[in-house]
Chains A and B, each alone.
Chain A
């Protein structure tokens, strides 16, 4: 079945993306606004998450209880999130309920009440979530890793910082909402059992007269510290390692993706085989290609008992360095089989397609079709990936450990 993707950018800058999936009974939506944590003023970490929380506490004519009841009556399975550049909402429901659901979210995006008497509750929710992170050592290690590895503010954590959360005012939330919840830079994507002309007309009706707001530049400061140990009273030591790679929009992206897949795609991949299967050093070990709009990185993670952590770090770094010596074509063949079935299985889920096309739009300003991805993957060879690795060997690692004892970063790796 031929994949159909529709895109339409309205005069106010809002982009609508749609992918009809006719065999499904559901429809899913993804709404992304340029309100992620890189847009927070310095020292106001958590403003984005508080703003999103406040938008759910009354919008349009509905108070927070009526809002929740309206969505529940429509059977909308939903979530909200704050990432680096974007914040947003997503949901899925029976296809007939999609348009009424979008009508409710138009209120969230454009007419949030931001009621003063809800501010302290929203603050407490944000503080509770921040406290919860303290008890998740793996997540903490990865947060520290991003903070060190990315130029500021790209490594900010979305949960924010306690001091800021305790003092954020309603005026700040209102200002953030007015600045970030705007049509230019916003993407709405839908996938599933949908009718394109109908959805386009409806989105125009809901958002067509939304007024543009000018962009504000993001000021970056370069990274400095690249090693950190966070003392933590735990059984295990958590190990987080990063190195620079290339972003999704780079013409060589799939070469980089293929190289990481050899490290960590499936149970026959190198890290799982060498660290867990052969040596029994850990339960979890992984590496993944992480991409921001303008830069890419490879982020690796493992956790293991303190007394075996040094060996785990040594083997992990050893495998990263060994990657530069090249991959074999049989390793790539398995990866190709996995991506091919992954692409086909994505077409069974409206949620997965809706978020995937929204992500593509943000990272590329267009949507890559499945055919395009499949041909790019088909065109990969061990030689092409090895040539890429020769030009871009994994090196210059950022290393964070969290646990009872610091570890040593050994050998030739810098």
Chain B
């Protein structure tokens, strides 16, 4: 296992964890752009653009892009979040060069008007699909309420209106501002021929012009709000709570992950025993998300509407108990064995390592081995968890309920 890195003259960074034992190769472009980099007049453009990146280049039609990926036997996709847009493919090692050539070409798309008009309909269907499914867009509502005007309050999908109104020229301008080689990282994991990778990158990406692609990351001071969204068609009531947590650059992030495991893992956590095991709720979980400049704890609850008030009380009691009495050494030890096992299992495939490498580099320009992560988890003490609980009180949260209840 060897870490390699290289920077092209135009600023594009290439990083790889090369593992000769691996059977496959994963490649990805990690772009530091997402909903947080948008403004109201282009709400949802990062995600729409992610779709458009598959729609062809001056030398390839949209159909050719799909045909070529499939001919390479690639397992490929892309996703967009508040913070980043990622394009990735897993392939057999012998297709490394051809796959990179294709991915690199895609990163300079044509953004043709007719493709844009057709794809707009697909995006609107995607938005409508999510609006028909729990939590019916309440994940966007909770972020808007909590972060207000802060960039993290923005929706990744945008709305049917914002997408309908978006002109192609604004997407092109957004692309020009955000897809500078200095704002992308080429990441590779698994069986990687690094010298060949650099050569292909030079060929495919070396001519890209760089521009400034700044990102604002003001500190987030989350509000503490409550809202109920009435959705009479829903059978269950859904609750999302969001509170501030350690960010991606905060050393406390490992303690935060362990705290979330103790409190809200899907099995064996305090919320599990209080809400799921007795059958009071269909699901109840608490997880930690580390973003740039701000992290968050997110709690999710789904239950019979009639039990919502009681469940919210049970949930609040769990949060209050950890703030007043902390957690036990046995709980911490168990959380460590869970998290460590997940780290090891999640790292067996090159695909798992790709996301880990890309995330660490985008967030901190740092390379971490699996062993580094395991050791970081092992070092965490009860005092570290207590510090997180004190600094980021879970009871100070924004709560959104959506479902058949008119008020909660």
Is A396 in contact with chain B by the CB < 8 A criterion? no
A26-B345, A338-B70, A341-B75 given as contacts; is B132 within 8 A of A137 (CB)? yes
Q: A334–B71 contact, CB under 8 A?
A: yes
CB distance from A328 to the nearest CB of B (A): 12
Interface of chain B residues 139 through 169 with chain A (CB within 8 A): none
The proximity string for B residues 19-55 relative to A, scoring 1 for CB distances below 8 Å and 0 otherwise, is 0011110000000000000000000000000000010
* A280 CB contacts on chain B under 8 angstroms: 118-122, 125
CB distance from B128 to the nearest CB of A (A): 4
Among A118-126, A198-206, A356-364, the stretch that binds chain B is A118-126
Is A92 in contact with chain B by the CB < 8 A criterion? yes
Q: A68–B21 contact, CB under 8 A?
A: no
Q: B341–A267 contact, CB under 8 A?
A: no
* A333 CB contacts on chain B under 8 angstroms: 71
* B273 CB contacts on chain A under 8 angstroms: 65
- Nearest to B235 among chain A residues (CB) is A134
CB distance from B229 to the nearest CB of A (A): 14
- Nearest to B231 among chain A residues (CB) is A135
**Size class of the contact patch on chain A:** 35 or more
A236-B132, A334-B70, A337-B71 given as contacts; is B349 within 8 A of A345 (CB)? yes
* B278 CB contacts on chain A under 8 angstroms: 121, 124
CB distance from B371 to the nearest CB of A (A): 12
A235-B131, A273-B66, A341-B75 given as contacts; is B125 within 8 A of A282 (CB)? yes
Q: B233–A234 contact, CB under 8 A?
A: yes
* B134 CB contacts on chain A under 8 angstroms: 132, 135-136
* B279 CB contacts on chain A under 8 angstroms: 120-125, 127-128
Q: In the assembly, what is the distance between CA of A65 and CA of B303, in Å?
A: 22
Is A340 in contact with chain B by the CB < 8 A criterion? yes
Interface of chain B residues 199 through 242 with chain A (CB within 8 A): 233-236
A26-B344, A280-B120, A282-B125 given as contacts; is B235 within 8 A of A131 (CB)? yes
Is B334 in contact with chain A by the CB < 8 A criterion? yes
Is B81 in contact with chain A by the CB < 8 A criterion? no
Is A384 in contact with chain B by the CB < 8 A criterion? no
A-B contacts at CB below 8 angstroms, number = 186
Q: B63–A75 contact, CB under 8 A?
A: no
Interface of chain B residues 216 through 273 with chain A (CB within 8 A): 233-236, 267-268, 272-273
Q: B72–A337 contact, CB under 8 A?
A: yes
- Nearest to A74 among chain B residues (CB) is B337
Interface size on B, residues (CB 8 A): 65
* B187 CB contacts on chain A under 8 angstroms: none
* B345 CB contacts on chain A under 8 angstroms: 26, 77, 92-93, 351
Interface centre among B21, B120, B344 (most CB of A within 10 A): B344
Q: A236–B128 contact, CB under 8 A?
A: yes
* B121 CB contacts on chain A under 8 angstroms: 280-281
* B92 CB contacts on chain A under 8 angstroms: 340-341, 344
A72-B338, A347-B23 given as contacts; is B73 within 8 A of A340 (CB)? yes
Is B280 in contact with chain A by the CB < 8 A criterion? yes
* A265 CB contacts on chain B under 8 angstroms: 70
Q: B125–A135 contact, CB under 8 A?
A: no
* B69 CB contacts on chain A under 8 angstroms: 266-268
- Nearest to A272 among chain B residues (CB) is B66
Q: A348–B348 contact, CB under 8 A?
A: yes
Is B276 in contact with chain A by the CB < 8 A criterion? yes
Q: A73–B348 contact, CB under 8 A?
A: no
A75-B337, A135-B234 given as contacts; is B75 within 8 A of A342 (CB)? yes
Is A25 in contact with chain B by the CB < 8 A criterion? yes
- Nearest to B24 among chain A residues (CB) is A345
CB distance from A91 to the nearest CB of B (A): 10
9 A-B pairs within 8 Å (CB atoms) are namely A72-B338, A76-B341, A235-B131, A236-B128, A268-B66, A268-B67, A283-B126, A338-B74, A351-B345
The list of the 5 closest CB pairs from A to B, nearest first, reads A124-B279, A75-B341, A337-B73, A280-B121, A341-B73
